[in-house]
Amino acid sequence: MYTPTRMCVACREHRKPQDLIRISYNSELQKPEPDSDRKAMGRGAYICRDIKCIERAKKKHVIEKHLKCSPCDLLYSEMEEML
């Protein structure tokens, strides 16, 4: 049976969607935000539930590049709180 996987934008490893945090771009607020329900419309990015991946993404601005948006430091602190 096929099990869907998603790729972490920081470490580039494939994992089950349940093991990742989905980040979606909220066009109304013009900023990326964590999507805990995984049901938000639009483009999304996935990142591992690991502090190392979050720090790597913050250092290299991977999420901003993937979602084509401006940097948002608040996003990384929200993800760290989710761990």
Q: How far is 74 from 6, CA to CA, in rounded Å?
A: 24
Q: What is the pLDDT of residues 26-83, one digit of tens each?
A: 878 788 888 888 888 878 899 999 999 999 999 999 998 998 888 777 888 888 888 8
pTM, to two decimals: 0.85
Fold annotation for 6-82: Hypothetical Cytosolic Protein; Chain: A; (3.30.1230)
Place of tokens 């590049």: 65
CB 75 within 8 A of CB 63: yes
